[in-house]
Amino acid sequence: MIVTKRIAAVAAAVGLALSGFAGTASAAPAATTDLRLIAFNDFHGNLQPPAGSSGRVTLPNGTTVDAGGAAYLAAHVARLRGQAPNSLVLAAGDNIGASPLTSALFHDEPTVEFMNKIGTDASVIGNHEWDEGYAELLRVQFGGCHPTDGCQFHQPYRGARFPFLGANITFDNGLPAVLPVTVKFVDGIPVGIIGVTLKDLPSVVTPEVVKGFKFGDEVQALNRTSRLLDLAGIRTQVALVHQGDSTEGGGPDDCRTLPGPARQIATAASPSIDAFFTGHSHQQYNCVVTDPAGKPRPLIQGASFGRLLSVIDLKIDRKSRDVVRTATVAHNEVVTRTITPDAGVQALVDEAVAKAGPIANRQVGTITADLVRAAAPSGESPLGDVIADGQLAATQSNQAQIAMTNPGGIRTDLTYTGSPAGEGNGVVTYGEAFAVQPFGNIMQTITLTGAQLKTVLEQQWQPQPNGTTITRFLQVSSTLNYTWSQSGTQGNRVSGITVGGQPVDPAGAYRVSVNNFLAAGGDGFTELAKGTNLTGGPVDLDAFAAYLTANPNLAPPAPTRVTVIP
The Cα–Cα gap between 441 and 102 comes to 19
Cβ neighbourhood burial of 535 (10 Å; 0-12, 13-18, 19+): middle
CB-based contacts of 12, cutoff 8 Å, min separation 6: 175, 176
Phi, psi of 266 (to 5 degrees): -70, -25
The Cα–Cα gap between 190 and 187 comes to 8
Comparing CA positions, the residue from 302, 391, 323, 251 lying closest to residue 42 is: 302
List 428's β-bridge partners, or say none: 365
Comparing CA positions, the residue from 308, 346, 280, 360 lying closest to residue 100 is: 360
Q: Let me know: does 548 contact 365? Beta carbons within 8 Å.
A: yes
The Cα–Cα gap between 334 and 379 comes to 29
Mean pLDDT for all residues in the chain:
92
Phi, psi of 506 (to 5 degrees): -55, -30
What are the DSSP calls for 418-456, one per residue? --TTS-BTTEEEHHHHHHHS-S-PEEEEEEEEHHHHHHH
pLDDT digits (tens, 9 = 90+) for 274-331: 999 999 989 999 999 999 999 999 999 999 999 999 999 999 999 999 999 999 999 9
pLDDT (tens digit, 0 to 9) for every residue of the chain, 566 residues total? 434 443 443 344 334 443 333 334 444 468 999 999 999 999 999 999 998 888 999 999 999 999 999 999 999 999 999 999 999 999 999 999 989 999 999 999 999 999 999 999 999 999 999 999 999 999 999 999 999 999 999 999 999 999 999 999 999 999 999 999 999 999 999 999 999 999 999 988 888 899 999 999 999 999 999 999 999 999 999 999 999 998 888 999 999 987 789 999 999 999 999 999 999 989 999 999 999 999 999 999 999 999 999 999 999 999 999 999 999 999 999 999 999 999 999 999 999 999 999 999 999 999 999 999 999 999 999 999 999 999 999 999 999 999 999 998 999 999 998 755 555 689 999 999 999 999 888 899 999 999 999 999 999 999 988 788 999 999 999 999 999 999 999 999 999 999 999 999 999 999 999 998 899 888 999 999 899 998 888 889 999 999 999 999 999 999 999 999 99
pLDDT at 422: 53
The Cα–Cα gap between 131 and 99 comes to 12
Which residue type occupies 334? Answer: V
List 497's β-bridge partners, or say none: none
pLDDT at 248: 85
pLDDT digits (tens, 9 = 90+) for 358-398: 999 999 999 999 999 999 999 999 999 999 999 999 999 99
pLDDT at 277: 98
Phi, psi of 80 (to 5 degrees): -65, -35
CA distances from 224 to 3, 148, 212, 301 (A): 24, 38, 22, 24
Which residue type occupies 505? Answer: D
Comparing CA positions, the residue from 315, 319, 239, 318 lying closest to residue 279 is: 239
Where b means 16+ CB within 10 Å and e means fewer, 296-317 reads: ebbbbbbbbbbbbbbbbbbbbb
Peptide bond into 156 cis (omega under 30): yes
Q: Let me know: does 411 contact 371? Beta carbons within 8 Å.
A: no
Write down the H helix ranges in 209-255. 218-231
Cβ neighbourhood burial of 366 (10 Å; 0-12, 13-18, 19+): middle
The Cα–Cα gap between 115 and 96 comes to 11
Strand 427-429 versus strand 363-366 pairing type: antiparallel
